[in-house]
Each structure stands twice: as structure tokens, then as C-alpha cells.
Amino acid sequence: MTTDAIVLLKDDHKEILRVFRDFEKAGDGALKTKGRLVDRMIELLTVHTYIENEVMYPRVRELVPELEDDVLESYEEHHVADVLVTELAVMDPSDERFTAKATVLIESVRHHIEEEESEWFPQVRESLSRTVLREIGAAMVEAREKAPRRPSQPSALKKTIDAVIS
């Protein structure tokens, strides 16, 4: 199994986008299905943003300084997703704002993934050797094991508080 950082992150993206499509296909009245799919999104996004925030982004910032602005913008986009995820996590699918909020989350994360994959990951691939990308990937595999799975878990809350205060 490869641990190339970009391959790992793109695999995560694929899974996230699949859940987004399933949500969009679910009927208006399919509250149980939509609730389950949002729970899955929350878990996937909480883990994914954690490993990017903790490993990928700081390493890219350090090793590819010309991508500093892209990384900073991406941190902010994660923060917007965190806010929506935190709200959705305590919301019932029957709430009139539930589908609207999930839709805004989907739109903003799709845009974010698109920017990562087409704007700055290719530059990371060009700037770093395969060995370094594998090291970063291995560190992400390790980080994934202790990653929070719900926004209410302490390590996820700390992330949110850091983002708000700093």
C-alpha cells in the first residue's frame, strides 16, 4: 500500500464526494438516510481536516514556502467547514435548516477539494520528492489513528478553539 501523501488525500476526497452525491440523490423525505449520510460526512471530514491540519499543511508550509497563501486559505476553508460540521452534528434531520446547511457544507467542501486537487497539490507534487511525500503520508496514517471522529471530541474542539482564538 502506498503512503504517498497526495494519493492518500485524494482517496479520502473520493470517498467524501461519494457521500455528498448519495446525499444529493436521497429524496426530500428520506430523513433517516440523510441523517446517516450526514453522520458519515461528519466523521470523514473531521478525520480528513485533522490529518491535513496536523500533518500535510504544516509540512507543505515549511517545505514549499511559495504555497504559504494557498495553505492559509485552505486552513480558513477548513474552519468554515468545521463550523458547519459542528452545527450539523447537533441538528436533527427534521430541522428545516438541516438540508440547507448540509448543502452549503457540500458546496464549500467541493470547492475546497477542487482547489486542493487542481491548484496546489500539483505544485506540491512537483516541489517534493516521492520519498518526502511518502514520509508525509506515513505521518498522516499515524495521525489518522488518533484523529477525532466527531467534532465534540476534545482534540477536535481544541482545533476549533485554536482557529477562533489565534
Q: Which residues bind Fe ion (CB under 5 A)?
A: 52, 116
> Of 82 and 116, which has the nearer Cβ to Fe ion?
116
Please say which residue, 82 or 93, places its beta carbon nearer to Fe ion: 82
Q: Could you please report the per-residue DSSP string of the chain?
A: ----HHHHHHHHHHHHHHHHHHHHHS-TT-HHHHHHHHHHHHHHHHHHHHHIIIIIHHHHHHH-GGGHHHHHHHHHHHHHHHHHHHHHHT--TTSTTHHHHHHHHHHHHHHHHHHIIIIIHHHHHHHS-HHHHHHHHHHHHHHHHH--SSTTSHHHHHHHHHHHH-
C-alpha cell at 44: 470523514
**The three three-digit cell numbers of residue 69, written as one number:** 497563501
63 vs 97, which CB is nearer to Fe ion?
63
In the complex with Fe ion, the residue whose CB is nearer, 10 or 33, is 10
User: Which residue's Cβ has the minimum distance to Fe ion?
Assistant: 52
The minimum distance between CB 74 and Fe ion, in angstroms, equals 5
Calpha distance 165→159 (Å, rounded): 10
> C-beta of 48: minimal distance to Fe ion in Å?
6
Is the CB of 98 or the CB of 120 nearer to Fe ion? Answer: 120
